[in-house]
């Protein structure tokens, strides 16, 4: 099983026709103070499985990793690879809502995507410190 798409976005959905719709993909957030929490985002992934994997049970794990490599949080789930069109592999889109995700400090964070304990992909997220809020002037601007 491979990860062929992985990104962070403001929102996403899958239409009735099976189209994956993604709104506001990003890889940077700003915070005026730390620790902070990002109110809402989604981790969008697409998994591709071979015909031989149909019916197998897989363990999915998502780890939020800080700039020092420390795991800040883990989400895990078990799923069975569904059947697909005869003679073809399977593509599975997944939208994971992340609400009030906490960050202890600024720096390069990542969401590691593991399947059966093996890292398949990582989505980077740079968390930066913004010294002023929108509309406020810094001392240098006055």
Q: Tell me if 103 sits within 8 A of 88, measured CB to CB.
A: no
Tell me, yes or no, whether 139 lies in a domain: no
Q: What is the pLDDT of residue 140?
A: 45
| 54-106 pLDDT tens trace | 999 999 999 999 999 999 999 999 999 998 777 788 999 999 999 999 999 99
The per-residue pLDDT for 133 is 53
**What is the pLDDT at residue 138?**
46
Instruction: Specify the pLDDT at position 139.
Output: 45
- Write the DSSP symbol of residue 84: -
Residue 142 lies in a domain: no
- Residue 59 domain-assigned? yes
Q: Judge whether 138 lies within some domain.
A: no
Which pTM was predicted? 0.88
**pLDDT over 90 percentage in the chain:** 86
Q: What is the CB-side half-sphere exposure of residue 62 using CA atoms within 13 A?
A: 20
Tokens of 39: 């109110």
38 domain residue, yes or no: yes
In a domain, 140, yes or no: no
CATH of the domain at 67: 2.60.40.3880
Total tally of structural domains belonging to the chain: 1
- The residue with greater pLDDT, 83 or 114, is 114
Whether pLDDT at 115 is above 80: yes
Q: What is the pLDDT of residue 132?
A: 58
Non-local (6+) Cβ contacts of 85 within 8 A are none
Q: Are 66 and 107 in contact (CB under 8 A)?
A: yes
Range of the domain at 125: 2-133
In a domain, 96, yes or no: yes
| Any domain includes 79 | yes
């Amino acid at each position: 099983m491979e990860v062929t798409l992985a990104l962070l976005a403001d929102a996403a959905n899958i239409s009735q026709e099976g189209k994956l719709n993604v709104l506001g993909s990003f890889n940077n957030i700003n915070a005026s103070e730390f620790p902070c929490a990002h109110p809402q985002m989604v981790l969008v992934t697409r998994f591709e499985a071979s015909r031989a994997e149909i019916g197998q049970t897989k363990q999915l794990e998502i780890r939020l990793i800080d700039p020092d490599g420390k795991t800040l949080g883990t989400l895990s789930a078990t799923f069975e690879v569904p059947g697909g069109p005869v003679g073809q592999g399977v593509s599975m889109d997944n939208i994971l809502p992340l609400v009030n995700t906490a960050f202890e400090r600024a720096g390069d964070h990542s969401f590691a995507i593991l399947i059966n304990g093996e890292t398949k992909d990582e989505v980077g997220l740079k968390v930066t410190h913004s010294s002023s809020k929108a509309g406020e002037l810094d001392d240098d601007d006055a």
